[in-house]
Amino acid sequence: MQAIGARTFEFPRDHGSHPEFKTEWWYFTGALKTKDGGDLGFEATWFRRALKPASEVPPRSSRLAAREVFAFHGALSDIAKKAFLHEKSACRAAANWAGADEKDLRVFLLNNRLERGAGGVWHLTYMVKGHRIELKLTPQAEPLLHGEVPGLSPKGPEPGQASYYVSMPRLKAEGTVAREPGAAGEAVTGEVWFDHEFFSNSMPDDLAGWDWFSVALDDGTDLMLYALRAKDGSIGPVSAGTLRRKGQPAVHLTREDFKIEVQARWTSPHTKAAYPAQWTIEIPKHEVALNVKPLLADQELQSGGGEGVSYWEGLCRYEGTVGGSPAAGNGYVELVGYAGAFGGKL
Amino acid sequence: MNAAAAVLGVLWSDLRRRPGTALASLSAVASGVAVFVAILLAGSAARSSFVSAVQAVAGRATHEVTAEGGLDETRFPALLELPHVAAAQPVVEGRIAVEAVLRGGTSVRSPAPPLRILGVDPFRVGPFLGEPGKGTAPVVRDEDLTEFLTDPHAVVLPRRWADEAGAQAGDTLRVAAAGQIATLRVLAVYELDALGEAARDSAVIDIAAAQELLDKCGRLDRVDIALDEDDPACEAELSAALPPGERLQRPERRGERVARMIDAFRLNLLALGGLALVVGALLVFNAAQFSVVRRNALLGQLRALGVTRPLLMGAVLAEVVALGFVGGALGLALGSLLANRLAGRLAETITDLYAFVQVDVAPMTWPAAMLVLLGTAGVAAAAGFFPALDAARTPPRMVGLRSREEGLFRAQLPRLAFFALAFCAAGVGAMNFPTRAWWPGLIAAFAFVGTGACLLPAAMALLLPPLRKLGERMGLLALPLAVGALSRSLSRTGGAASALGVALAMTIGVITMVKSFESEVRRWIDGAIRADLFISDVNEHLAREDARVPNAALRELAAMPEVEALDTLRKIDLAYADRTMLFFGVNLPTPDSRERFEFLSGDGPSAIEGMLGGEAIVSEPLANRYNLGVGDTLAVNGRRGEVTFKILGVFRDFSYDRGYAVTGEKRYLEIFGETGVRNVAVYLKPGVEREAAARSVRERFAGRYVLNVRSNAELRGHILDVFNHTFALTYLLQTIATAFALGGITVTLFGLFLERAREIATLRALGSAVSHVGRLFAMESLLMALFPVLLALPLGAVLAWILVHVINLRSYGWSIAYAWPWSPVLGTCALAVAAGLCATLVPWALARRQSIAGALREE
Amino acid sequence: MSNASPDAAEPLIRCRGVKRGYGTAPARTVALAGVDLDVPAGQTLAIVGPSGSGKSTLLHLIGAMEIPDEGEVRVAGRDVTKLADDEAARFRREKIGFVFQFFNLIPTLSSLDNVALPARMAGRGAAEARAKARTLLERVSLGERAESRPDALSGGQQQRVAIARALVNDPRIVLADEPTGALDTASGEAVLKLLLEIVRERGTTLLMATHSEQAVAHAERRIRVEDGRIVADERRAP
């Protein structure tokens, strides 16, 4: 099945897995604070990829037989310690090894799991390099459906070159983060942004990568923007975003509505890739002007070896004005396609 | 230094003048060492192939978690969370037979060598997708990954096997696994450096496919673990965190456990090799003794020329030690060649009896080779010590008197008698050593062999003169002459006769043991093999653990109108103490099937009842090995921790020397889970003819299952075949030892005849025809074989007794009744005598051609 | 086989054109290069000559222990060069007695049994052979050493036993190869005297290869062999 046309979303069912689509991800990024006010950022992402369409896979008697593969990317940014940790793993969707519920929000890869529990509280648990992160997430707002057709987010000019894309900004987070390997967790609070996308088609051929921004500002504004970069460096026409100001309905932003300017660059010592490292974002129509700056330069997730893509995904400081009033907050930026071709896979 | 060189030079020139005896003793040493080395190499290769076959596949993994009957697959995520687990690889493995390699529908190789199936998860740590920082190519390439994961038949073959079987990517393999025919598709061929030498026959497939292929769905054989820090504290912490039933161990330890299974077998073989060495040492002793006696005159002259006693002793010893070294080196080379031949036989036997093994003999390491050389030289030095001492005691004189020479040897007789006594005392001591271990039996056997070896020359010295008197009184002409010739050369004939006697005695001992064993096994088969048909996996020898009678086949059998009942057997290998044992789960559906246990202790009917109700009965070897008896508690590990059984009976069994316990099917399944039916005994309805039923089952199963369907008579025959096959190796070694003991006799006789050329010529000058000379030779060789036979009969009986009642009982746990098999024993003796007679043919032919005048002229 | 000689005039031993060499060219040595010799029955003949001149070879040829390359050796009217092994053995047993330089007694047998041995080989019963042997041992003055082994006897005594052995089958000819060669002068002389005495007593023909002057002096006839030929043939009255 492909992401074409409007879709009627139904939650929590649509937080769950959509195995009829080839690719799906559950993307959590969050800005946390420790009791003493230290900034922490985290990323926890589950990727689902179907190996073959269901019709092509013979019935199997082993419960370990793989039809889908899950990957998990976990990262932790400890700004005070100037530390960035990340870890990737992959596992077949089988037995209790990895998988996702089709009826409700439950996704897991070995011991990295997210589950919607009683009372609508989400439980997120994962490990990164021996650091255990356990958070309870409480939704504060309605799901945010991106795109002109709500929930359909085009990624290219052709029909089907699109994904169904839903966010849950501003999940209230409460829990513990181990700041040393194997150590007991420190209590943290914060806000988490959840992205959920699923689609079947691969990306357009001339897509070089994308820059993605998300932030929940202290004035109650939620902002998501993505700029799809073509191989010639230009920002593609289907780049888009969503803005939801406090108490107002979400507004779809098109390519013409925003302007992103790179203010600085940073070269990765690991992959030698040159990433943009500071931006100004302007959305004149909605009086948004923000300066975005990484809280830690090196928040690059390197691929382990041959497999996978290296990308930068990090906690950033967003500061500026919205509707004339000052607004600020810690949010995330994702930069894909700078360290070699991303080849359309994640 | 110069003096030593000069003395050695003289000895060397003398040796060169008569190379025959030197060559004979050289070949004796070489063959003894060769047999020993061959057994050593082949045996340890077999053992180490068990150990190396269990190497971890998860890159850095140093440990593994296992549970009896396998781990539940859902345990895997939890294992990853345990302390110190840095990485883990779930493994499902087994062995399959490859019936054919097919390309485009036609067979390019049939059958192909068997494969080890290594079911892994390519996403877990390890070399499967290529490890960062390792220059090796991955086993599963990126582009193959999807097919590898989704095609239940996709397999990646190791390069070595693929080359051997002529298989390549795109081919299809028709395989037999878990009692069924399956096909595998060759996705790719991986290079060996990825997994190491141990994986040379390991076909890598997805773990799910492995579960399906090997009928192990739901289970993991083990999980390989890499600890974050490989130290005992971490190991202990992780171990403690495991739930009951799961065990953390180093893979080598599992290998060790398995390898220990064949220890008794291997050491028994090595003992036979030791025997070859003893025979060789006797022949060396013989040679050293003779060289001193023969060169008595030369040594006396050397003494007269001022050579000191220590120098002379040193020179003679040096000569013998040099003989040991050269013979040892030849033996090493010969043994390495022999080992390769032996390894095949050994692998077959071990596969028959214990577990599938392929043996590649590694060349001997230099330190080991040096050890063997030094050992040989040491044995030679020991054998040469007393002769060298005698050499040193030679009084200085210019002319040697022949008459004195034998006197020297006769002076040894009290010494020999003393040694015989000492050996005998050692043997008796070893027999009474308070232990259940079997090695004192071995020591006793060797001690009694030593007794016999020392006793025989003394006995000859004592018995020959009366024999000669007897011959004279009876008016026989050749007998006194022959006896005279032998007793005059007792220094040589004694040792050679000892060597043959010892070899014959061992042969008789082994024959007696085997025959006693065989009659016991025949009797046991009559009671134990009761059902009408027996069905088992054709490839049971390849994969004891994974052999199956598929459930579908069982259902079909049960539905056949001829079938009355199915007696199913489930079987599992368990770690027990420091080795392994077997545990059986049975249902015993008919009254007849309950009769198949012959109880040695316990009340049969109630033991069977209690066992089916969840207690246990144990086989005699298990009871003997671990000192278990009726009323004791047997504690083993089940998949959920330790479980205990009350032992209700001990029954006779000859099928597994490791020993096993039996419980009812219900309790078995509770404890170990469904491990699959390993084999099934079929009881037919009254009036159904066995052979016809066997045919009909075979026809029904053909092309779908790879099952052996044997009728009662066929299974009995099969068991006896395996039995005979097992001892074929023993017989082979025995034959080698006896053959070169006979060779020793031949050489001795030959030397004796050559040396007496002048005497023979004199006889002929006095009017003796060549045929008379032949008769004389025959008489001598007859005596040379008869004395060993006289030694071998009682000594063989003693050795057989030790083999049956001490070594067999203690090492294998089998109690068997001693039965003396007259005809093969006498046959062996007759063969030795006949071989001795044959040994005279060449000297006789030489004597025929010899010029009398020429021989008389020589002095 | 006819024992009777067709030619009554033929001597007991007749050699004609006898040649014998050893080895192969170029290392071939010629032991006898054409010997003609007639020895009548009862004669005592000393064969002298340097070492390697062919003395022993001549004796061996007459004893049918060797076959000449060329020529004829007739003993008691029979061509001994044509005998098969068992015929030759029988011929030696019945017609020839040997005395060797180194005695060649069977070391494991007593004096008596050594002497009796050829008689036993000729098929005589043990008792008969022993009785005969005992008589002969007494004749050589060793009756009291009958049960001694050769190694208990002196060289001279051993050679006397050997002489007794040579005569036990009443041979027509005794061939003695250096019979005193291994003995000191005194015992050599004694042995020689005994040997000559006995053969004369019994009318036995004696051929004796020797270096000993005494032996030569006591023999009726002396031939000298050099380089395989008879270079001198002297007779004297006994």
Question: Whole domain around residue A174: which residue ranges?
Answer: 10-58+65-201
Q: With CB atoms and an 8 Å threshold, state whether B767 touches C63.
A: no
For residue A342, the model assigns a pLDDT of: 57
Contacts of B125 in chain A (CB under 8 A): none
- Which contacts (CB < 8 Å, 24+ apart) does range A233-238 have? A233/A208, A235/A260, A236/A156, A236/A207, A237/A157, A238/A154, A238/A155, A238/A156, A238/A157
Is the CB of residue C188 less than 8 Å from the CB of residue C214? yes
Q: What is the DSSP string of A202-252?
A: PPPTTEEEEEEEEEE-TTS-EEEEEEEEETTSPBPTT-EEEEE-TTS--EE
Instruction: Choose the closest CB to B768 out of C56, C113, C121.
Output: C121
| Residuewise pLDDT in 10s, chain A (346 residues) | 888 888 999 999 999 999 999 999 999 999 999 999 999 999 999 999 999 887 888 889 999 999 999 999 999 999 999 999 999 888 999 989 999 999 999 999 998 999 999 888 999 999 999 899 999 999 998 899 999 899 999 888 888 889 999 999 999 999 999 999 888 999 999 999 999 999 998 777 888 899 999 999 999 999 999 999 998 888 988 899 999 998 899 999 999 999 999 999 999 998 889 999 999 999 999 999 999 999 999 999 987 654 567 899 999 999 999 999 999 999 999 999 898 765 444 4
Instruction: Choose the closest CB to C89 out of B402, B475, B767.
Output: B767
- Token pair recorded at residue B293: 């006696």
Interchain contact A/C (3 or more Cβ pairs less than 8 Å): no
Angle between helices B490-528 and B822-838 (to 10 degrees): 150
Chains that touch A (3 or more CB pairs under 8 A): B
For residue B402, the model assigns a pLDDT of: 46
**Do residue A321 and residue A217 come from a single domain?**
yes
> For residue A3, is it within any domain?
no
Q: With CB atoms and an 8 Å threshold, state whether C60 touches B852.
A: yes
**Do residue A197 and residue A211 come from a single domain?**
no
For residue B242, the model assigns a pLDDT of: 93
Provide the shortest C-alpha distance from residue B548 to chain A (in Å).
Answer: 17
By DSSP bridging, strand A98-100 and strand A83-92 are unpaired
> For residue A228, is it within any domain?
yes
For residue B805, give the DSSP letter.
I
**Do residue A19 and residue A69 come from a single domain?**
yes
Selection from B376, B373, B365, B343 nearest residue B277 by Cα: B376
Please give the residue of chain B at the shortest CA–CA distance from C115: B766
Which residue, of A134, A169, A201, is where some domain finishes?
A201
- Residues in CB range of B233: below 8 A, 6 or more apart: none
Q: What is the DSSP string of A267-313?
A: E-TTT--EEEEEEEEEEGGGTEEEEEEESSS--EE--SSSSS-EEEE
Is the CB of residue A301 less than 8 Å from the CB of residue A310? yes
Q: How many angstroms separate the CA atoms of B507 and B829, rounded?
A: 10
> In Å, how far from its chain's centre is CA B38?
11
Give the angle B20-B342-B805 at the CA atoms, nearest 5°. Answer: 95
For residue B53, the model assigns a pLDDT of: 63
Please give the residue of chain B at the shortest CA–CA distance from C162: B766
Which residue, of A135, A168, A201, is where some domain finishes?
A201
- Residues in CB range of B687: below 8 A, 6 or more apart: none
Provide the shortest C-alpha distance from residue A290 to chain B (in Å).
Answer: 41
> For residue A85, is it within any domain?
yes
Is the CB of residue B468 less than 8 Å from the CB of residue B484? yes
Testing the interface with B: which of C32, C92, C112, C161 to mutate, by most B Cβ within 10 A?
C92
Testing the interface with B: which of A64, A67, A96 to mutate, by most B Cβ within 10 A?
A64
Selection from B455, B448, B473 nearest residue B787 by Cα: B455
**Do residue A174 and residue A208 come from a single domain?**
no
What is the CATH number for A218?
2.40.370.10
Indicate the burial class of B597 (C-beta count within 10 angstroms; 0-12, 13-18, 19 or more).
Answer: buried
- Residues in CB range of B423: below 8 A, 6 or more apart: B447, B448, B450, B451, B454
Which residue, of A138, A173, A201, is where some domain finishes?
A201
Q: Does B415 touch chain C (CB under 8 A)?
A: no
Place of tokens 């203010």: A263
**Do residue A196 and residue A209 come from a single domain?**
no
Q: Does C50 touch chain B (CB under 8 A)?
A: no
For residue A290, the model assigns a pLDDT of: 96
Most confident of A165-174, B30-39, B727-736: A165-174
The CA dihedral of B683, B686, B688, B691, to the nearest 10 degrees, is 50
By DSSP bridging, strand A144-145 and strand C221-226 are unpaired
The mean per-residue pLDDT over the stretch C135-147 comes to 89
> For residue A4, is it within any domain?
no
Q: With CB atoms and an 8 Å threshold, state whether A89 touches B123.
A: yes
Q: Does A293 touch chain B (CB under 8 A)?
A: no
Q: Does C182 touch chain B (CB under 8 A)?
A: no
Residue-wise pLDDT for B604-638, tens only, equals 899 999 999 999 999 999 998 899 999 999 999 99
- Residues in CB range of B497: below 8 A, 6 or more apart: B456, B457, B460, B745, B784, B787, B788, B791
**Do residue A190 and residue A226 come from a single domain?**
no
Into how many domains does chain A fold? 2
Please give the residue of chain B at the shortest CA–CA distance from C107: B484
Q: How many angstroms separate the CA atoms of B760 and B773, rounded?
A: 7
Q: How many angstroms separate the CA atoms of A62 and B858, rounded?
A: 90
Residue-wise pLDDT for B208-251, tens only, equals 999 999 999 999 999 998 888 888 899 999 999 999 989 998 88
For residue A142, the model assigns a pLDDT of: 87
> For residue A281, is it within any domain?
yes
CA atoms within 13 A of residue C208's CA, in its CB half-sphere:
32
Q: With CB atoms and an 8 Å threshold, state whether A60 touches B212.
A: yes
Alpha helix positions (H), B474-594: 478-488, 490-528, 551-559
Contacts of B402 in chain C (CB under 8 A): 107, 151
ipTM for this model: 0.89
Residue-wise pLDDT for A28-42, tens only, equals 999 999 999 999 999
Please give the residue of chain B at the shortest CA–CA distance from A97: B77
Selection from B15, B451, B28 nearest residue B281 by Cα: B28
Q: Does C124 touch chain B (CB under 8 A)?
A: no
Please tell me the pTM assigned to this model.
Answer: 0.74
- Token pair recorded at residue B408: 């020297």
Instruction: Choose the closest CB to B212 out of A62, A96, A306.
Output: A62
Residue-wise pLDDT for B314-330, tens only, equals 888 888 888 888 888 99
For residue A232, the model assigns a pLDDT of: 87
pLDDT category at B558 given cuts 50, 70, 90 is very high
Provide the shortest C-alpha distance from residue B852 to chain C (in Å).
Answer: 6
Q: Does C92 touch chain B (CB under 8 A)?
A: yes
Q: How many angstroms separate the CA atoms of B278 and B815, rounded?
A: 28
**Do residue A131 and residue A272 come from a single domain?**
no
Instruction: Choose the closest CB to C92 out of B487, B767, B770.
Output: B767
**Do residue A174 and residue A315 come from a single domain?**
no
Contacts of A111 in chain B (CB under 8 A): 77, 80-81
Provide the shortest C-alpha distance from residue B465 to chain C (in Å).
Answer: 11
By DSSP bridging, strand C205-209 and strand C44-48 are parallel
**Do residue A132 and residue A221 come from a single domain?**
no
Q: Does B798 touch chain C (CB under 8 A)?
A: no
> For residue A273, is it within any domain?
yes
Q: Does B770 touch chain C (CB under 8 A)?
A: yes
Is the CB of residue C78 less than 8 Å from the CB of residue C50? no
Residue numbers of A between 181 and 210 with CB closer than 8 Å to B: none
Q: Does A35 touch chain B (CB under 8 A)?
A: no
For residue B365, give the DSSP letter.
P
Q: Does B72 touch chain A (CB under 8 A)?
A: no
**Do residue A37 and residue A163 come from a single domain?**
yes
Kindly provide the residue ranges of all beta strands, DSSP E only, lying in chain C, ordered along the sequence. Answer: 13-22, 29-39, 44-48, 70-75, 78-79, 96-99, 173-177, 205-209, 221-226, 229-235
Contacts of A110 in chain B (CB under 8 A): 76-77, 80
> For residue A264, is it within any domain?
yes
> For residue A2, is it within any domain?
no
Please give the residue of chain B at the shortest CA–CA distance from A129: B86
For residue C2, the model assigns a pLDDT of: 39
Provide the shortest C-alpha distance from residue C131 to chain B (in Å).
Answer: 14
How many separate helices (H) and strands (E) can be counted in chain C? 7, 10
How much is the mean pLDDT over chain B? 84
Residue numbers of B between 469 and 488 with CB closer than 8 Å to C: 472, 475, 477, 480-481, 483-485, 487-488
Chains that touch B (3 or more CB pairs under 8 A): A, C
Provide the shortest C-alpha distance from residue A198 to chain B (in Å).
Answer: 20
- Which whole-number Å values give the CA distances from B405 to A255, B16, B300, B387, B757, in the listed order? 119, 21, 11, 12, 19
- Residues in CB range of B523: below 8 A, 6 or more apart: none
- 3-state secondary structure (DSSP) of residue B502: helix
pLDDT category at B107 given cuts 50, 70, 90 is very high
Provide the shortest C-alpha distance from residue C119 to chain B (in Å).
Answer: 9
Contacts of C92 in chain B (CB under 8 A): 764-767
Testing the interface with B: which of C62, C104, C110, C130 to mutate, by most B Cβ within 10 A?
C104
- Which whole-number Å values give the CA distances from A56 to A51, A66, A70, A201, in the listed order? 10, 12, 19, 18
Q: How many angstroms separate the CA atoms of A267 and C142, rounded?
A: 124
- Token pair recorded at residue A113: 């799991």
Q: Does B781 touch chain C (CB under 8 A)?
A: no
**Do residue A176 and residue A104 come from a single domain?**
yes
The mean per-residue pLDDT over the stretch B690-711 comes to 91
CB pairs under 8 A between B and C: 97
Q: How many angstroms separate the CA atoms of A42 and A190, rounded?
A: 11
Is the CB of residue B73 less than 8 Å from the CB of residue A63? yes
Sign, Cα dihedral of B534, B540, B544, B550: negative
Q: How many angstroms separate the CA atoms of B546 and B583, rounded?
A: 15
**Do residue A111 and residue A166 come from a single domain?**
yes
Q: CB atoms < 10 A from the CB of C8, how many? A: 7
Q: How many angstroms separate the CA atoms of B340 and B629, rounded?
A: 43
- Token pair recorded at residue A260: 């992103």
